[in-house]
Amino acid sequence: MSTPGETAHPNASGRVVLISHAATPATRCASFPDDEPLERPGDPLVVNLGRFTRFSTGPETRCRQTAAALGWDAAVEEALADLDFGDWRGRALEDVADFSWLTDPSAAPHGGESVRDVVARVGGWLDGLRGTGERVAAVTHPAVVRAAIVHVLTAPAQAFWRIDVAPLSVTRLTNSGQNWTLRETGHTVNR
With beta carbons less than 8 A apart as the criterion, state whether 31 and 25 touch: yes
Q: What are phi and psi of 116, to 5 degrees?
A: -60, -40
Residue 22: pLDDT band with limits 50, 70, 90: very high
Architecture of the domain made up of 13-188: 3-Layer(aba) Sandwich (3.40)
Question: What count of Cα atoms within 13 Å lies in the side-chain half-sphere of residue 51?
Answer: 6
The total of other beta-carbon atoms located within 10 Å of residue 34's CB is: 17
88-128: pLDDT as tens digits: 999 999 999 999 999 999 999 999 999 999 999 999 999 99
41-68: pLDDT as tens digits: 888 888 888 889 999 999 999 999 999 9
Quickly list DSSP for the chain: ---TTSPPPTTBEEEEEEEEPPP-HHHHTTB---S---SSTT---B------SEEEE-SSHHHHHHHHHTT--PEE-GGGPPP--GGGTT-BGGG----HHHH-TT--TTSS--HHHHHHHHHHHHHHHTTB--EEEEEE-HHHHHHHHHHHTT--GGGGGG----TTEEEEEEEESS-EEEEEEEEE-B-
181-190: pLDDT as tens digits: 999 998 888 6
Residue 5: pLDDT band with limits 50, 70, 90: very low
- Parse the chain into domains and list their residue ranges: 13-188
Predicted local confidence at residue 159, as pLDDT? 97
Higher pLDDT, 3 or 39: 39
User: CA 33, 39, 43, 45 torsion: positive or negative?
Assistant: negative
Predicted local confidence at residue 188, as pLDDT? 83
Phi-psi region of 60 (alpha: psi -120 to 50; beta: other; left: phi over 0): beta
**∠ CA(25), CA(26), CA(31), 5° rounding?**
145
